[in-house]
Amino acid sequence: MEGYDNLIADSAPITDPMRKGGDLAGIFYTGGTTGRSKGVMLSHQTDNALANVE
């Protein structure tokens, strides 16, 4: 078994992925009463807009 230090020694550094406003941020499921639950796709742009609501 290899030690943790040896395992990470050859690994590439983690980089922050490039995101665009229209990229999918998450799928949130609704608990509607009209039938089966549905997934709502929200983008990073939507998240930013909600964060900036005053």
Domain boundaries, the chain: 19-54
Residues above pLDDT 90, as percent of the chain: 19
Residue 41 banded pLDDT, cuts 50, 70, 90: very high
Residue 11 banded pLDDT, cuts 50, 70, 90: confident
Q: Assess contact for 46 and 52: CB atoms under 8 A.
A: no
Section 13-33 average pLDDT: 86
Closest CA to 47 of 17, 26, 32: 26
Q: How far is CA 27 from CA 7, 40, 44, in A?
A: 34, 5, 11
Please, which contacts does 36-41 make with residues 24 or more away whose CB atoms are closer than 8 Å? Answer: none
DSSP state, residue 17: P
For residue 54, pLDDT over 70 is answered with no
